[in-house]
Structure 1
Amino acid sequence: MAHYPLLERIFYPDDLKKLTPEELIQVCHELREFIIDIVCENPGHLGANLGTVELTVALHYVFDVPHDKIIWDVGHQAYGHKILTGRREVFHTNRKYGGISGFPKRDESPYDVFGTGHSSTSISAALGIAMGLRYNSRDEANVIAVIGDGSLTGGMAFEGLNNAGTLHPNMLVILNDNNISIDPNVGALKDYLLDITTSKTYNRFRDEMWDMLGKMGRMAPFARQYVQKIEASLKALFLKQSNLFEALNFRYFGPVDGHDVVHLTEVLQDLKTIKGPKLLHVLTKKGKGFPRAEENQTAFHSPGRFDRKTGEFLSAKGTEAEPPRYQDVFGLT
């Protein structure tokens, strides 16, 4: 039986917070191995969950859930979340009769704040929760929506972004870009700009400058507009993706390496102090850490039983190759 020395000490996020940032790297390795070990015998969603291991660990390390709220779009990528929030010891019952649900489920855990299963709903759900917290004078809590680049193409996701940009809630949207469908930015200057725009010093200066410009009487609107144009021009020059989200009144940050857990915790820690709607663009790879899943992301989205060492698909008895699944035949017909 496999042994997970650090993971076995983590029952809830408070246990995770006792570790050093460097130890999180080992936690991510063990969490990824644990998911593979279970899913190869007890079929479930594999690829998406392997791709969000570092992001999941970083979120639970930085934020104070369930006081802070995390909404997972669709829920295909929430296994790590479940394992770190009190369900590791029953994870082998995932998707079994009488076991835990394969998706976030509100009546299963206070850490599951929104029931999912359908795509593109997370941003609207996060907006509703954020506004409810505001009306109850609790808007100091952080509300986070994690959504994939595929789900972001849904109309409901853009409706949520548009409304959030108007209502200006305290919420963070994390774009989990595992297809790299938007051209990635590279280079040291991009990294430097990300460090600057997420820093407390920069954001405090930005807020103070905004207040000062507002005291310029009739010139205030023009001065503010001029400064906004300068900031937007700098971002547009080095951050190709920022324009769309900035146009919807979201502050855009990224892209960042979604598999660098230490850097992710640093970025999230900075974003935690920035109020209003913001979007963090994270680049991940589906199936990360399991070569066969990285090579064939479609087949290993929800692969059925497979050999842990070779990645070969197995029949229910585990002795023969599994026949084609209905969805595979349907998709190729």
Structure 2
Amino acid sequence: FGASLGVAELTVALHYAFDTPRDQIVWDTGHQAYIHKILTGRNEQLPTIRTQGGLAPFCRRDESEYDAFGAGHAATSISAAWGMAVGRDLTQQDFSVVAVIGDGAMGCGLAYEALNNAGHTDRDFVVVLNDNDMSIAPAVGAMNKYLTSMITNPAYNKVRGLVKEVLHRTPGGYGDRMEEVAGRLEESVKHLLTPGLIFEELGFRYVGPVDGHDVEALAETLSRVRKMKGPILVHALTQKGKGFSRAENDPYTWHASGPFDKTTGSGIKKPGGLPRYQKAFGKGLVQLAETDPLIVAITAAMPDGTSTDMFDEGFPDRFFDVGIAEGHGVTFAAGLAT
């Protein structure tokens, strides 16, 4: 819920700047993709999400031609989009491929494996980082906005290419040295004034941070990025739950809310029925931990979704949230048990 509200402007700008469905957008997990579903002809069907015969809660290729890839797990978008970009080039096709990933999923090793593989090539490929936690880096003012505008400017990129070509042709071996010095100077300025060093080191041209709620600026930036060559990473700063004050003030609770009263914001509980399995599991785990000090709880960024938050309240020293990193979590558990 909150994630989709946070990408409303970004989704509009992506569909404006890119020629979808010819250009292919891969949404990570699908939690961000509800606005995408609305814009691609599924608005009337939105209430049917998670019902039999209704819309899927994630992107599905058999649901719409605009859903370029189907996925349920976080951090798969970059790998999938990279594979699509390579397949495009091998079959000599001409379209853009974009991966949209959140900053939470960026904590998963799979995302960095894909960045590491894709960055050191000259294939055209775009990653949009939806940073709704502002946990990676803050904006750095007017100079950063100017640099973002400059880096994506077609004239700047054309002159940049011509300068590199002229330097490369300089006889006596001096051209290569001059080109290296010029490149180092450019990178030094960018690294000093922008927070994208890690992505630049991985081989991506970094663009941002940009205001993820300024739809006109986003559309202009993405339109320019679409014409740029090589792997590009666009860093968009957004706010989860944007436009709905309750979700803005409490993004954790409203990340995946159940039915609620639109006026009061209070949750609507169904009468009767058994408690949810995860709640029974959470209570049972706490009861076991009270009698056995060797019991610990590990979750992969889902304490509320697994009810291990109950364990955290009672035994914070024995509770471990490893982030969206299931592979690490399982191996970490094996180490604990050794």
| Superposition TM-score tier, normalisation by shorter sequence | 0.7 to 0.9
Aligned counterparts of 1:179 and 1:313: Cα–Cα separation in 2: 25
Query: Cα distance, 1:196 vs. partner?
Result: 1.1
Cα deviation, 1:194-233, whole Å, max 9, x if unaligned, reads: 1111111101111111222221242333222111101111
For 2:242, the equivalent position in structure 1 comes to: 288
Aligned counterparts of 2:9 and 2:263: Cα–Cα separation in 1: 23
Check conservation: 2:121, 2:230, Cα contact below 8 A.
Answer: no
Check conservation: 2:140, 2:193, Cα contact below 8 A.
Answer: no
State the secondary structure of the residue aligned to 2:236: strand
For 1:249, the equivalent position in structure 2 comes to: 203
TM-score, normalization by structure 2: 0.80
For 2:50, the equivalent position in structure 1 comes to: 95
Match of 1:67 among 4, 14, 22: 22
Larger Rg: 2
Check conservation: 1:48, 1:287, Cα contact below 8 A.
Answer: yes
For 2:131, the equivalent position in structure 1 comes to: 177
Greater RCO, 1 or 2 (C-alpha within 8 Å, sep 6+): 1
State the secondary structure of the residue aligned to 2:116: helix
TM-score, normalization by structure 1: 0.81
Aligned counterparts of 2:227 and 2:259: Cα–Cα separation in 1: 43
Equivalent runs, 1:195-214 vs 2, <5 Å: 195-214=149-168
Structure 2 unaligned regions, length at least 5: 280-302, 312-338
For 1:268, the equivalent position in structure 2 comes to: 222
Check conservation: 2:20, 2:66, Cα contact below 8 A.
Answer: yes
Cα deviation, 1:19-68, whole Å, max 9, x if unaligned, reads: xxxxxxxxxxxxxxxxxxxxxxxxxxx01000000000000111101110
CA distance change for structure 1 residues 89 and 183 in 2, over 3 Å: closer, same or farther? same
State the secondary structure of the residue aligned to 2:210: strand
Aligned counterparts of 2:66 and 2:266: Cα–Cα separation in 1: 35
For 2:181, the equivalent position in structure 1 comes to: 226
For 2:36, the equivalent position in structure 1 comes to: 81
State the secondary structure of the residue aligned to 2:82: helix
Structure 1 unaligned regions, length at least 5: 1-45
- 1:52 partnered with 2:7: yes
Query: Cα distance, 1:323 vs. partner?
Result: 9.1
Aligned counterparts of 2:28 and 2:179: Cα–Cα separation in 1: 36
- 1:120 partnered with 2:106: no
Give the partner amino acid of 2:141.
G
Give the partner amino acid of 2:222.
L
- 1:189 partnered with 2:167: no
Aligned counterparts of 1:162 and 1:221: Cα–Cα separation in 2: 26
Give the partner amino acid of 2:310.
L
Aligned counterparts of 1:110 and 1:61: Cα–Cα separation in 2: 17
Equivalent runs, 1:292-331 vs 2, <5 Å: 292-316=246-270, 326=279, 328=304, 329-331=307-309
Cα deviation, 1:137-183, whole Å, max 9, x if unaligned, reads: 11x31110001111111111111111111233211101110111123
Check conservation: 2:212, 2:236, Cα contact below 8 A.
Answer: yes
Cα deviation, 1:78-137, whole Å, max 9, x if unaligned, reads: 001111112112111111111010100111111111111101111111110000000111
Aligned counterparts of 1:244 and 1:309: Cα–Cα separation in 2: 44
State the secondary structure of the residue aligned to 1:167: coil
- 1:236 partnered with 2:191: yes
Aligned counterparts of 1:168 and 1:159: Cα–Cα separation in 2: 17
Give the partner amino acid of 1:332.
M
Q: CA RMSD in A?
A: 1.8
Aligned counterparts of 2:85 and 2:179: Cα–Cα separation in 1: 27
State the secondary structure of the residue aligned to 2:100: strand
CA distance change for structure 1 residues 325 and 234 in 2, over 3 Å: closer, same or farther? same
Match of 1:216 among 158, 170, 176: 170
Aligned counterparts of 2:207 and 2:167: Cα–Cα separation in 1: 24
Check conservation: 1:315, 1:323, Cα contact below 8 A.
Answer: no
